[in-house]
Amino acid sequence: MTHDDGRAGASARDELLRWQEARNRRLVAEWGWLSLVDRFVLSPGDNTIDVGNVSFLDGEVTVRLRPDVQAHDEQGHPVTKHRWPAGSSGGGPFLLVGRKRYELLRQGDHAAIRVRDNDAPSRTAFPGLSFFPHDERFDVVARLDRTAAPTTVTLGQGLGGSLAHSCPGALVFLLDGREHRLLPVIEDDAPGKYFLLFRDRTNGTETYGAGRFLYLEPADADGRVRLDFNRAFNPPCALTPYAACPVVPPENVLTVAITAGERAPPHHPATAPPP
């Protein structure tokens, strides 16, 4: 996207700086991504985790705690058993053991129990993210082509399997004089945004190997979408091994280097393989 004068460019840089600062604040917030310290992927039937036994049957997950484990629910009541009903969404109800919080993650028919700890060094000692300098060349206007895209895009899931998402159309844009296309999806928990997963020629060298993400405002009345790669960010799996991220679809691999947005995390090699 081009800007009319230097003042507009400075405003865009200032706006981006505020976004970057907010991004860092969210990562180090209590119970944020950087507080993850463990993950137990569940198989149907009986499972063992660090605090007891877990039953995963017909979508219901029940933890039976060992006698030596002192735990409580979110209201502070002592518990010896904790249950996530079938069909429940979100991480809660939460189980708390000391300073740690246990939550449920569902992806289709797959499930895992994740553990968070606000005192984790990954959170308390996080040095902050690294970004490319703002570059107006990577702030472009795309055209939404509703006729040249599938109505759904299937994304591989971090816990296994795949999930189909609604696709509003193909984003068609020019970069360095060449036309490119990307397929955004719409997530159930963010219906007012386009969610874009993409890879480019910086992956594995300057940026995280599995690709990056971008949230976009929906198309305006003329079918235009602002596509600002300066706000491309790393998936959670670039920041912690205990996340379970969707996989960039093969249609969204760009043949150009997007030297904008987040670089590889300082504590994580850029050459990390895709999940």
Tell me the pLDDT tens digit for each residue of 218-263.
999 999 999 999 999 999 999 999 999 999 999 999 999 999 999 9
Split at pLDDT 50, 70, 90, the class of 7 is low
Q: Report, as an integer, the average pLDDT of 207-212.
A: 96
Q: Residue 8 pLDDT more than 90?
A: no
Q: In which region does residue 61 sit, left (phi positive, over 0), alpha (psi from -120 to 50) or beta (all else)?
A: beta
Non-local CB neighbours of 87 within 8 Å, separated by 6+ positions = 59
pTM exceeding the 0.85 threshold for the entire prediction: yes
Q: Are strands 95-97 and 100-107 parallel, antiparallel or unpaired?
A: antiparallel
Tell me whether residue 253 is exposed, middle or buried, using C-beta atoms within 10 angstroms of its C-beta: 0 to 12, 13 to 18, 19 or more. middle
Tell me the pLDDT tens digit for each residue of 150-204.
999 999 999 998 999 999 999 999 998 999 999 999 998 888 999 999 999 999 9
Split at pLDDT 50, 70, 90, the class of 275 is very low
Residue 267: what pLDDT?
64
Residue 11: what pLDDT?
86
Q: Residue 1 pLDDT more than 50?
A: no
Tell me the pLDDT tens digit for each residue of 97-111.
999 999 999 998 999
Q: How many CA atoms lie within 13 A of 179 on its CB side?
A: 5
Residue 264: what pLDDT?
93
Residue 171: what pLDDT?
98
Q: Average per-residue pLDDT in the chain?
A: 92
Tell me the pLDDT tens digit for each residue of 62-95.
999 999 999 999 999 999 999 999 988 899 999 9
What percent of the chain is predicted at pLDDT more than 90? 86
Q: Report, as an integer, the average pLDDT of 135-161.
A: 94
Residue 239: what pLDDT?
94
Q: Regarding predicted confidence, which is higher, 231 or 10? A: 231
Name the DSSP letter for residue 30: T
Residue 12: what pLDDT?
84
Q: Which residues of 45-65 are buried (b: 16+ CB within 10 A; e: fewer)?
A: eebebebbebebeeeebebeb
